[in-house]
């Protein structure tokens, strides 16, 4: 409870849950939104643990290049891509087309 590490995870999940349908965001944006801009890497780690939750759209989180770097952590090979395509996002070569157009930036939380 309220351990500093757990708190970080909860903050990440809180932001990821707010990603609107058909939109995506980056690890850095999430880290920045929770006031841990330098912990972008740890955000990805939190995503790895998000598999135990069913309300964390981790497929909407990509790196700053719009590349599905985390697709290897999904059960299937193209699961993440199919999920994005199901939301109207074009994905080619593990990369989001018009990434900037689908990009959604979370609000800064203090």
Partner DNA sequence: CCAATGACTACAA
Partner DNA sequence: GTTGTAGCCATTG
83 binds DNA (CB under 7 A): no
For residues 40 to 79, the per-residue mask of contacts with DNA, x marking binding by CB under 7 A and - elsewhere, is xxxxxx-xx-xx------xx-x-xxx---xx-xxx-----
Residue 57: which of 15, 92, 93, 90 has the closest Cα? 15
Q: How far is the CB of 63 from DNA (least distance, A)?
A: 3
Write out the DSSP string of 17-47.
TTPPTT-BEEHHHHHHHTT-GGGHHHHHHHH
- Could you tell me how far CA 75 lies from the centroid of its own chain? 16
List contacts with DNA (CB under 7 A): 4-6, 8-9, 26-29, 36, 38-45, 47-48, 50-51, 58-59, 61, 63-65, 69-70, 72-74, 80
């Amino acid at each position: 409870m309220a351990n500093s590490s757990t708190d970080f995870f909860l903050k990440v999940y809180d932001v990821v849950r707010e990603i609107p349908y058909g939109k995506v965001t980056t690890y850095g944006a999430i880290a920045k939104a929770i006031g841990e801009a330098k912990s972008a890497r740890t955000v990805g780690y939190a995503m790895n643990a998000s598999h135990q939750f069913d309300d964390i759209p981790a497929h909407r989180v990509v790196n700053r290049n719009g590349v599905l770097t985390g697709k290897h952590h999904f059960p299937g090979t193209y699961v993440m891509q199919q999920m994005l395509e199901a939301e109207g996002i074009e994905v080619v070569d593990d990369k989001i087309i018009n990434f900037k157009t689908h990009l959604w930036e979370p609000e800064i939380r203090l």
